[in-house]
Amino acid sequence: MPDPLLYRTLVWLDYRLAAVFAIGLPLVLLIWAAWKQEGALTRLLGIYWKVASLLLITVLLLTDNRPLGYLLALLAQLL
C-alpha cells in the first residue's frame, strides 16, 4: 500500500502548482500589462479574472449542493 505521506505531499504540490498558474502568473501578467500600458492584454486579463471569480463562486455553490452552481459552471465554461 502506498504511503499516505506521499499522497499528502503530492496533493500539496498539485495545489501549489495550481495556485501559481491560476493566480500568480495571471496576476504578474496583469501588473506588467498595466505598468507597460498594454490595453489589449489588460482587457483580456480583466476578462480572465471575471471568469475565474465566477468559477470560484461556482465551487462555493456546489459545495453547498445548490442547483444554481450547475448553471454557473456551464456559464463559466462557455465564457
pLDDT > 90 in the chain, percent: 38
Cα–Cα distance list, 60 to 26, 28, 64, 69, 76 (Å): 22, 25, 7, 8, 14
- Inter-residue contact 40 to 33 (CB < 8 Å): no
Distance (Å, rounded) from C-alpha 35 to C-alpha 45? Answer: 14
Residues 26-64: tens digit of each pLDDT: 999 999 999 999 999 999 999 999 888 888 888 888 888
- Report pTM: 0.70
pLDDT at 2: 73
Q: Which residue in the block uniquely carries the three cell numbers 495545489?
A: 15
Q: How confident is the model at residue 22 (pLDDT cuts 50, 70, 90)?
A: confident
How far from chain centre, in Å, is Cα 61?
15
Give the helix/strand (H/E) hosting 32: helix 25-36
